[in-house]
Amino acid sequence: MSEPDREPTETPTTDREEAEREGKWMGRNWLGIAAVSIFGLVLIVIALMQATGLMDVFAPVVETEIQQWAIFGVLVLIWLGAAGWSWNAITG
| Residues in Cβ contact with 59 at an 8 Å cutoff, skipping those fewer than 6 apart | 68
Instruction: State the pLDDT at residue 91.
Output: 62
Supply the pTM of this predicted model.
0.65
Q: Tell me how crowded residue 58 is: count the other CB atoms within 10 A of its CB.
A: 18
- pLDDT one-digit tens code per residue, 60-86: 888 888 898 999 999 999 999 988 887
Of the chain, the end-to-end C-alpha distance in Å amounts to 10
Does residue 43 form part of some domain?
A: yes
Does residue 77 form part of some domain?
A: yes
Instruction: State the pLDDT at residue 8.
Output: 60
Rounded CA-CA distance 20/4 in Å is: 10
How many separate domains does the chain show? 1
- pLDDT one-digit tens code per residue, 7-40: 665 666 677 888 788 788 777 778 888 888 999 9
Domain that residue 27 falls in: 10-91
Does residue 29 form part of some domain?
A: yes
DSSP 58: T
pLDDT-derived band of residue 48, with 50, 70 and 90 as boundaries?
very high
Instruction: State the pLDDT at residue 43.
Output: 93
